[in-house]
Amino acid sequence: MVPPDALTFTTAPSVLPLSLYGSRIAAGFPSPADDDLEGTLDLNEHLVQHPAATFFVRVQGDSMTGAGIHDGDLLVVDRALEAKSGSIVVAVVDGELTVKRLKVAGERVWLMAENPAFAPLELRDGQALHLWGVVAHAVRSF
């Protein structure tokens, strides 16, 4: 695994404006098409809040499917966001990289899977936890 420092932007991301249509797409019954172009859309503006602190990582496994994160998804991870209880984080526990939901209650800390097939991981004394960042977005290809 490449350390996140090697994946962060060192310069401003390039702008790639894409077409954005003003109408919304019905996910139920079809509606008449609207050909009005609203403008352009730069995905960096919507997905990358802190370019110098953002990196991307690909998911392997299915422990987070309940949170809508699936095997092969691309995560947008922001190191500038504060990791708090309830955040989905990219973490290293005892040298192993993982993505889980952070749960903090008093002095106790867990990394929670979002799939009932995976047990919560409660961090014990002596275990090393390093938070690489907070997952801001997941991008899925079909």
The catalytic residues are 63, 100
- What are the residues facing 112 on neighbouring strands? 101
Name the β-bridge partners of 99.
Answer: 90
SS3 of residue 133 by DSSP? strand
Residue appearing with tokens 């996140």: 4
Query: Per the structure block, which two tokens stand in for 118?
Result: 């995976």
Instruction: Tell how strand 74-78 and strand 129-139 pair up.
Output: antiparallel
Residue showing tokens 């060192």: 10
| Residue 54, φ and ψ in degrees, nearest 5 | -110, 140
Cα–Cα distance for residue pair 10/51, rounded to 1 Å:
8
